[in-house]
């Protein structure tokens, strides 16, 4: 392991080398491995996604906290360990200090992954879905720290939009309030994870890696802003589950959530699990397809942005 400028953060040598040379790197989160998908699909997905990032010309860096050390880039053994070991904490940004202090193991959410990526200079990150404003948040105050992180941490997050376990309209409102640029790749509709549409329009639209890279360049290098960027990448049409079909399943899952009194950090993992169970795995197939698609788009973006930055280096 190469050390990094930050104590308690360890960067895999291949990743450190790419960063030192301005080569493209794509961060990948680990909550999707430990809490978002069942074994063995989770470890297969994580391995395959790293391969897709490589095939598109970038270096993958899956991020997690292992025994109190923040790891940027995991070896295949570490990845397998994380996918199979019990007692892995779901970690958002505020959990990082506790994990380090107590020497614990945690899988990082979008928020915590963004923060660790930014600490070592990674600018592009691929995931499935981001967290957001939960339905009923007016009473529960349950708004994901992913939104806070997007407002303060300069990483572009490629997701398939926002899952309708959340209040999508309120999530978009909150992102606007927080000053987070939101663009949809190649569509005029804001996607809702399993579906290419959500009934809401795309706040802004761009088409393809070069246009998206220009947006990253404008945000950080030309305007000097420090926000994250939310890039919504619709699921491929062939893999889509129609909104009304998945909607019924999600409504039932939300009823179960209420009936069982699940709250706090357990809400999102509970809903994700129930949706998979109730669709007999069909949603898992769609989930895998969109994660693959996001990994390819993020890698293309990382390559295009790295090229753009090199071309604009001061002489």
CA–CA distance, 233 with 151 (Å, rounded to integer) = 19
Where does the chain show beta strands of DSSP type E? Answer: 2-3, 9-11, 25-28, 59-66, 69-72, 89-91, 106-108, 124-126, 156-159, 182-185, 205-206, 229-232
Q: Is 149 in the site for Mn ion (CB under 5 A)?
A: no
Span near Mn ion by CB under 5 A; candidates 137-145, 152-160, 240-248, 250-258: 137-145
Catalytic residues: 29, 163
CB of 269 to ligand PSU, least distance (A): 7
Q: Is 167 in the site for Mn ion (CB under 5 A)?
A: no
Span near Mn ion by CB under 5 A; candidates 23-31, 102-110, 116-124, 136-144: 136-144
Query: CA neighbours within 13 Å on the CB side: how many for 34?
Result: 26
Residues in region 119-138 near ligand PSU by CB under 6 A: 128-129, 131
Residue 128 contacts which entry, ligand PSU, Mn ion, none (Cβ below 5-8 A, type-dependent): ligand PSU
Residue selected from 268, 283, 293, 306 as contacting ligand PSU according to rule CB under 6 A: 268
Residue selected from 43, 120, 272, 276 as contacting ligand PSU according to rule CB under 6 A: 272
| 3-class DSSP assignment, residue 285 | helix
Residue 285 is encoded by which pair of tokens?
């197939």
Helix (H) and strand (E) counts for the chain?
13, 12
CA 5 to chain centre: 24
| 3-class DSSP assignment, residue 153 | coil
Q: Which is nearer to ligand PSU, 109 or 219 (CB)?
A: 109
Q: Is 145 in the site for ligand PSU (CB under 6 A)?
A: yes
- Here's the x/- map for ligand PSU, 212-251, by CB under 6 A: it reads as ----------------------------------------
Residues in region 191-210 near ligand PSU by CB under 6 A: 193
Note whether 73 and 11 are within 8 A (CB): yes
Q: Is 149 in the site for ligand PSU (CB under 6 A)?
A: no
Note whether 230 and 159 are within 8 A (CB): yes
Residues that bind ligand PSU (CB under 6 A): 29, 31-32, 36, 92, 109-110, 128-129, 131, 144-146, 163, 193, 265, 268, 272
């Amino acid at each position: 392991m190469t050390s990094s400028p930050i104590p308690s953060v360890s960067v895999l040598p291949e990743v450190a080398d790419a960063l030192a040379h301005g080569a493209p790197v794509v961060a990948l989160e680990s909550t999707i491995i430990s809490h978002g998908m069942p074994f063995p699909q989770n470890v297969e997905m994580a391995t395959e996604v790293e391969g897709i990032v490589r095939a598109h010309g970038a270096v993958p860096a899956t991020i997690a906290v292992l025994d109190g050390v923040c790891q940027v880039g995991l070896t295949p053994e570490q990845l397998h360990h994380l996918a199979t070991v019990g007692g892995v904490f779901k970690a958002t940004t505020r959990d990082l200090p506790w994990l380090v202090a107590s020497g614990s193991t945690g899988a990082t959410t979008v928020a915590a992954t963004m923060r660790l990526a930014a600490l070592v200079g990674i600018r592009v990150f691929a995931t499935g879905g981001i967290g957001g404003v939960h339905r009923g948040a007016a009473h529960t105050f349950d708004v994901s720290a992913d939104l806070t992180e997007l407002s303060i941490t300069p990483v572009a997050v490629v997701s398939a939009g926002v899952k309708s376990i959340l209040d999508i309209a309120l999530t978009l409102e909150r992102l606007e309030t927080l000053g987070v640029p939101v663009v949809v790749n190649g569509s005029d509709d804001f996607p809702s994870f399993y579906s290419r549409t959500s009934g809401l329009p795309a706040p802004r639209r761009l088409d393809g890696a070069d246009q998206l890279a220009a947006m990253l360049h404008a945000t950080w290098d030309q305007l000097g802003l420090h926000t994250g960027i939310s890039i919504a990448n619709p699921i491929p049409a062939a893999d889509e589950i129609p909104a009304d079909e998945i909607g019924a399943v999600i409504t039932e899952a939300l009823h179960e959530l209420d009936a069982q009194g699940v709250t706090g950090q357990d809400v999102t993992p509970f809903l994700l699990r129930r949706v998979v169970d109730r669709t007999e795995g069909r949603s898992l197939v769609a989930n895998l397809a969109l994660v693959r698609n996001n990994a390819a788009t993020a890698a293309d973006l990382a390559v295009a942005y790295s090229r753009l930055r090199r071309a604009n280096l001061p002489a």
